[in-house]
Structure 1
Amino acid sequence: MRSKVWTLCFLLALSFCKDKEYLRIEVEKESGSMVSMRNFSRSSYKETGELEWRLKGDESYIFPKENKTIVYGFAFSQFEKGKSTSMMTGDRGEINHKTKTVILEGKVRLKTNDGKFIETESLTYNLDEKTLSSEVDVLVYSDGTTIRGKGLRADKSINKFTILQPKAVTTGGSNPLKEKP
């Protein structure tokens, strides 16, 4: 009788236990990756322990042989003195670790903490040179002025930028191209 009660208790306990729910990517957007994961997050810290940058993504695919990582739902934040200085987002980001470039595609947005931003469908960020470039249509907003055009060359903080083929300029603030004291 006692063994039947223990067996019943054991079966009841098992019925209430749940396995951990792991999210597996059933239909991969990228084939050939060695590792694929959801809700990807990676951070980098300076030697002083200060947060330098944080990368988040909905899905991530790592290709060790090609030395690249592809991130869907790309969100990259840079920090200085514990505060965010810029946020760059896009539908898809391809990080080439060998050439140290990030190519963003689809609804690309870069916003700095001082209110400047870029919108485009494709943007390349060179990690070594800390420069941005694009060959497609762009919109740049800086200090009350909006510039639309095709092609862009800029520094990461958008303090210095060139629109290769300007199409329209709307002013509303001071001149963003003037020298700052």
Structure 2
Amino acid sequence: MVAWYRNCIPVRLPFRIDRAMKAQRVAAGILGMVVVFVLLVAGTLIAKSRTPAVESTGPVTSSADLRIKEAQIEEETGGVRWRLKAEQALIFDAEGRTALRKISVDVFERDRSWSIVGEEGDLFQATRNLEIRNNVVLTSSDGLRLETSVLRWQGAEKRLWTDAPVRLSRGGAVADGTALDVRMGDESTTLAGPVHTIFTQTGK
């Protein structure tokens, strides 16, 4: 096992991690499409009637305009199948915000699949911004894994970022950083330091 520290921003990642980061840019694109999908879901959640229980809420239980329990939405568009699950969705019309609890998003393409999970999050319809918090894990079928405590998507800037500690791993290569910034517009990825990179070599 080889390990070293670097203390520079931006950091030039070793080859194997750099390949993983290129895959991460693809993951950012997928997440962007997930955000658009979730925005559509927020507007049509009730009409689709895909939830076992829908409850109106008063001021005693919540300030939300509507609470939806065990939300589950599935759609297929352009050969891509989406599945969104949330233990609870709280819709705040005045704020243009939908609060989600126990989030799970799965994306299935013909040759790959993606999964994003988190304990809670907020979706803002006007800006198409999304924030997922607490035990956030993004995984892909080709072995890429991203772990952090908060992950944000800014729709206008096409920016996926976190200012919390983040771990990227793939195929025995692990990179730990203090923040991550993926900008799809210029295809740049910055893993802020100090960065701790580990390679684990198996049998020759």
User: Larger RCO: Structure 1 or Structure 2 (Cα < 8 Å, ≥ 6 residues apart)?
Assistant: 2
Consecutive unaligned residues of structure 1, counting only runs of 5 or more, are 1-20, 174-181
Q: Which amino acid aligns with 1:145?
A: A
What corresponds to 1:42 in structure 2?
73
SS at match of 1:136: coil
Q: Does 1:57 align with 2:86?
A: yes
Q: Which amino acid aligns with 1:76?
A: V
Aligned mate of 2:117, from 68, 89, 108: 89
Q: Check whether the contact 1:122–1:136 (CA below 8 A) recurs between aligned residues.
A: yes
Q: Check whether the contact 1:63–1:69 (CA below 8 A) recurs between aligned residues.
A: yes
CA distance in 2, matches of 1:170, 1:69: 39
Aligned mate of 2:63, from 32, 47, 52: 32
What's the offset of the Cα at 1:24?
Answer: 6.0
What corresponds to 1:74 in structure 2?
103
CA distance in 1, matches of 2:188, 2:143: 14
Cα 1:24–1:97 change in 2 (3 A) is closer
Greater radius of gyration (CA): 1
User: Percentage identity across aligned positions?
Assistant: 21
What's the offset of the Cα at 1:97?
Answer: 1.4
Cα 1:161–1:124 change in 2 (3 A) is same
TM-score by length of 2: 0.61
Q: Which amino acid aligns with 1:39?
A: E
Q: How many residues align?
A: 147
What corresponds to 1:100 in structure 2?
128
What corresponds to 2:178 in structure 1?
150
Q: Deviations over 1:86-122 (max 9, x none)?
A: 1111100111111112101111100011110111111
CA distance in 1, matches of 2:150, 2:170: 19
Q: Aligned-pair RMSD on alpha carbons?
A: 3.1
CA distance in 2, matches of 1:130, 1:169: 27
- Structure number having the greater strand percentage: 1
Consecutive unaligned residues of structure 2, counting only runs of 5 or more, are 1-51
- Structure number having the greater helix percentage: 2
TM-score by length of 1: 0.68
